[in-house]
Amino acid sequence: MKKDLISNDIQLNASGKLVHLLGLEGLSKQHLTHILDVADDLLDAQGNLKKSKALDDMSVANLFFEPSTRTRNTFEIAGKRTSANIINVDLANSATKKNESLLDTMHTLKAMQIDMFVIRHKQSGLPHYVAENIGNVAILNAGDGINAHPTQALLDMLTIRQYKKNFESLSVAIVGDILHSRVAHSGIQALKTLGTKDIRLIAPEGLQYESKNCDTIKCFTDIETGLKDCDVIMVLRLQKERMMEADIPNEQEYFDNYGLTFERLALAKPGAIVMHPGPINRGVEIDSSVADGEQSVILQQVTNGIAVRMAVMEILAGKS
């Protein structure tokens, strides 16, 4: 499915209220800011997570058809911290292995009185298809193919806001395999919606997503030029699972040309933060000491993922 054919229209009801979270296209600055504000309220002054009773009458099912460490576990923790009954559906041992269709599986789970489905799938648009075909259940997209990863983008925005306060004046560089990255696609949308004036996409030509420059977005093949004086650097891994074997770059060559080293980080503003959605491939897209260095906020992104996922579930449940 082509990315630009996937519509998020059904995620808002006639009153403009969020009823699914499928992607960030179509959501206003007010929608995004509200999610970030609710997430902020779920963190105390030290950045520790609070608990809520918001979903104590609800059941949430995690359906991860693709591997995940961060998203799956933080959704589970977020569900528990909002007092939901959360079920991790064991897809490896489910009736999908006996050729039950995806929709039949979803209808079966719905009959178990599940209120929300969290879905990760390799096929772009799969959560949208489920949302269109199953009524009265909220669908949360936890990453679909190369299309979107909305809660990752929201946790990234929360992290940026914690350090940089406003988006308008920021220069944000996204470095790496942008073409295959649902994180980048949702992140670019979030940055645009929140008013970021200078978004820089740094990638080898074969891994660029936006081929056209516009007022807000500038593409770079040269990392040194792209990083100059930026406030935020978001590093992406090579998503080999979405590449043809012949297109996979040589890792050493890639690191030499695009790896984030301390020398390259020094080209950014002194207070620049280093982000990465994970999983990290040390020595490929980022030097290990940069990933663990003082400017890295990578593990804070993980914690923020819980607050953002709690916030989204509360909002979809009509509790925030």
State the residues that interact with ligand CP by CB under 6 A.
68-71, 143, 152, 277-279
**70 annotated among ligand-binding-site residues:** yes
The least distance separating ligand CP from the CB of residue 57, rounded to whole angstroms, comes to: 28
**196 annotated among ligand-binding-site residues:** no
**161 annotated among ligand-binding-site residues:** no
With respect to ligand CP, which residue has the nearer C-beta, 187 or 220?
187
**150 annotated among ligand-binding-site residues:** no
**149 annotated among ligand-binding-site residues:** yes
With respect to ligand CP, which residue has the nearer C-beta, 149 or 220?
149
**279 annotated among ligand-binding-site residues:** yes
SS (H, E, C) the chain: CCHHHCCCHHHECCCCCECCECCCCCCCHHHHHHHHHHHHHCECCCCCECCCCCCCCCEEEEEECCCCCHHHHHHHHHHHHCCCEEEECCHHHCHHHHCCCHHHHHHHHHHCCCCEEEEEECCCCHHHHHHHHCCCCEEEEEEECCCECHHHHHHHHHHHHHHHCCCCCCEEEEECCCCCCHHHHHHHHHHHHCCCCEEEEECCHHHCCCCCCCCCEEEECCHHHHHCCCCEEEECCCCHHHCCHHHCCCHHHHHHHHCECHHHHCCCCCCCEEECCCCCCECCCECHHHHCCCCECHHHHHHHHHHHHHHHHHHHCCCC
The least distance separating ligand CP from the CB of residue 70, rounded to whole angstroms, comes to: 4
The least distance separating ligand CP from the CB of residue 277, rounded to whole angstroms, comes to: 4
**30 annotated among ligand-binding-site residues:** no
- Joined tokens for residue 200: 């820089």
With respect to ligand CP, which residue has the nearer C-beta, 134 or 280?
280
The least distance separating ligand CP from the CB of residue 142, rounded to whole angstroms, comes to: 7
**120 annotated among ligand-binding-site residues:** yes
With respect to ligand CP, which residue has the nearer C-beta, 277 or 320?
277
By CB atoms closer than 10 A (0-12, 13-18, 19+), residue 33 is middle
With respect to ligand CP, which residue has the nearer C-beta, 8 or 62?
62
The least distance separating ligand CP from the CB of residue 177, rounded to whole angstroms, comes to: 13
With respect to ligand CP, which residue has the nearer C-beta, 125 or 143?
143
The least distance separating ligand CP from the CB of residue 236, rounded to whole angstroms, comes to: 10
Annotated binding residues: 70-71, 98, 120, 149, 152, 182, 237, 278-279
Annotated binding residues for L-aspartate: 98, 182, 237
